[in-house]
Amino acid sequence: MQRELDTKCDAEDIAANDYTLIIKKIPIDYEALNDDYDDDLKEFIEEHALDDKQIEVESVTLCYSLKEINILEKKKMKLIRKK
């Protein structure tokens, strides 16, 4: 009974994560074909995400690794605390 209720609720509750792709390790050094990296990714996903049909991509949001910036920020804070 509970499983049926969970399945029904999930089917009726549509959220962004139901339609979200996460693609990792995209090359950083890349020459855009359309003068815009986001547009190139959008076009590629629309054409190649599913074998049997083309899909519509609403938007592409790029996220970047902030590891180097976080390391520099920590070093900066250490130096500030020493003064």
Q: What is the pLDDT of residue 51?
A: 83
CA 62 to chain centre: 6
What residues have CB less than 8 Å from 38, skipping those under 6 apart? 60, 62
The pLDDT tens digits of the residues spanning 58-81 come to 888 888 778 888 899 999 999 999
Q: What is the pLDDT of residue 31?
A: 76
List the end-to-end C-alpha distance of the chain, in Å, as a whole number.
64
Q: Which residue positions in the chain have pLDDT lower than 50?
A: none
> Domain residues of the chain, as ranges?
2-82
Q: Tally the C-alpha atoms within 13 A of residue 49's C-alpha that lie toward its C-beta.
A: 15
Q: What is the pLDDT of residue 75?
A: 92
Q: What is the pLDDT of residue 77?
A: 92
